[in-house]
Amino acid sequence: MEKEFDFEDMRSYTDEEINAAIMRVTEIPEINDVLRFIFPDKDPSETINKLRRINNVRDFQHQFIAPLILGLIQNKQSSVFLNGIEQLQKEKKYLFISNHRDIIMDAGILNSLLDKNGWETTEIAIGDNLCVKPWISDSLRMNRCFLVKRSGTKRDLFNAFIKLSAYIRRNITEMRNSVWIAQREGRAKDSNDSTQESLLKMLSISSVGSLKKGFLDLNIAPISISYEYDSCDYLKAKEFQQKRDDANYQKTKADDLLNMKVGIMGYKGRIYYEMTPVINDEIEESISEEDNRSTVLNKVAQLIDYRIHKNYHIFPINYIALDKRNQQETYLGTQYTAEEKEAFEQYVDHQIEKIDLPNKDIPFLKESFWMMYSNPLINHLKALETH
């Protein structure tokens, strides 16, 4: 596959390239402001000097990125938990597919947890629409991110689709690196997580042999990510109203940057990453060689969704949101207290106050919050009922 494709414009940086990339990033005019924002208690020059001594990707992630991300979580009085890693093997390579809540932190936290547990970090699929400045592209690619093309002609996007599939398969089947990718393009802003058929089509393009074998070769291991609080919830609710009021509404690059900033720096409460075994046994059992392409894609999507939904960590606020959405108190006294309900209602009111719309529709925005926070519970309960 390497002979057929040129991955230079999308791949992550190698050890040999990391120091030059660090030099470029630390020479940008705004670097001191960026570092003061990330490390308010540190002298930027000290951080720059430390960074410039790094000469490989492993050290960059271990010495800088993992402590940064886990430190940000701790500083915001959030906590993070990793479960199920013992069901996987360090020496194998996996395609980790997870639900998608936060632009940067979903994969950033995962890699920090893997590093903390002595595992190799994964390559990360990330949209090139986030690379609004060259130094952001450098920062992502030296953190083992590879770029997914999001714009261009239909032909451009199709060719990028094929190359992306080859890149992911090459990493896993040639035992280079595990890969993380979200189950859909962009975040599920309503938290109703489902695997996009287009993602599975992309992965299947590079299959060698049958479609079933192509998925088996990828060692798909779903991960269920649960944030108690979504720090971008008010931005998502705002976007719901903007799209409701203007059918042609499109986010700007400034909106993407704001979502990245809020997602990185915001409070998330308790965070759970539930890793699950590969779905190969289920693929073997449920898919026959006679199944047509559409059936195979649908079955693989259902297997991934079931794993993610079943393994959510459910919080009291999810039950509160479902009761608010249904205008009931079904779970009051069993899954949450009156005090927890009042505190969550106050939290939602506070988040809605942050929304700067001239025609702010508060009842609609509140319903958006109840939807966002109840959908994981609804899907979780459905998953428990099916098995």
Q: What is the DSSP string of 104-138?
A: THHHHHHHHHHHHTTPPPPEEEEEGGG--SHHHHH
Average pLDDT on 240-258 reads 91
Mean of pLDDT over the chain: 94
Q: Is the dihedral of CA 87, 92, 95, 96 positive or negative?
A: positive
Q: Is pLDDT at 357 greater than 70 in this prediction?
A: yes
Pick the CATH number of 58-231+266-313 from 3.40.640.10, 3.40.1130.10, 3.30.930.10, 3.30.70.100: 3.40.1130.10
- The predicted model gives 267-286 an average pLDDT of 97
pLDDT above 60 for 3: no
Residue 41 has what pLDDT? 86
Which amino acid does the sequence have at 226? Answer: S
Where exactly does CATH 3.40.1130.10 map onto the chain? Answer: 58-231+266-313
pTM here? 0.94
Q: Is pLDDT above 70 for 1?
A: no
State how far the Cα of 348 lies from the Cα of 337, in Å rounded to an integer: 17
Task: Give all strands of the β-sheet with 220-227 in edge-to-edge order.
Answer: 79-83, 270-275, 220-227, 95-98, 179-182, 123-127, 145-148
Q: Tell how far CA 136 is from the center of its chain.
A: 17
Within 174-286, residue ranges assigned H as helices are 197-205, 211-217, 233-245, 253-265, 280-286
Q: Which residues contact 220 (CB under 8 A, 6 or more apart)?
A: 94, 95, 97, 278, 279, 280, 300, 304
Structure tokens at 165: 């599939």
Cβ atoms of residues 53 and 136 within 8 Å: no
Instruction: Tell me the residue length of the chain.
Output: 387
- Rounded to 5 degrees, φ, ψ at 226 are -130, 115
The pairing of strands 179-182 and 220-227 is unpaired
pLDDT (0 to 100) of residue 2: 42
Q: How far is CA 7 from CA 2, 127, 162, 169, in A?
A: 8, 15, 11, 13
pLDDT of residue 387: 67
Least reliable range by pLDDT among 39-43, 124-128, 344-348, 366-370: 39-43
Answer yes or no: are the C-beta atoms of 18 and 65 closer than 8 Å.
no
Tokens of 85: 């890693």
Local confidence band at 27 (pLDDT 50, 70, 90 cut-offs): very high
pLDDT score of 72 more than 70: yes
> What are 324's two structure tokens?
């608010």
Amino acid at 278: V
Identity at 84, one-letter amino acid code: G
- pLDDT 10s digits, 168-177: 999 999 988 9
Q: How far is it, in rounded angstroms, from Cα 94 to Cα 175?
A: 9
**What distance in Å separates the CA atoms of residue 55 and residue 63, rounded to the nearest whole number?**
11
Q: Locate tokens 């008010």: which residue?
A: 234
Select from 238, 165, 163, 172 the least CA-distant residue to 202.
Answer: 165
| pLDDT score of 289 | 82
Distance CA 311, CA 94 (A): 18
Binned at pLDDT 50, 70 and 90, residue 256 comes out as confident
Instruction: Look up residue 380 and give its two tokens.
Output: 């979780």
> What is the CB neighbour count within 10 angstroms for residue 356?
8
Helices then strands, counting H and E runs in the chain, come out as: 17, 7
The residues, any chain, with a CB within 8 Å of residue 314's CB and separated by 6 or more, are: 226, 376, 377, 380
Two tokens, residue 220: 């798909």
* The dihedral sign for the CA sequence 297, 127, 112, 90: positive
pLDDT (tens digit per residue) in 175-206: 889 999 999 988 899 999 999 999 999 999 99
Q: Compute the distance between CA of residue 124 and CA of residue 143 in angstroms, rounded to an integer.
A: 8
Place of tokens 């609609």: 364
pLDDT, average across residues 315-322: 98
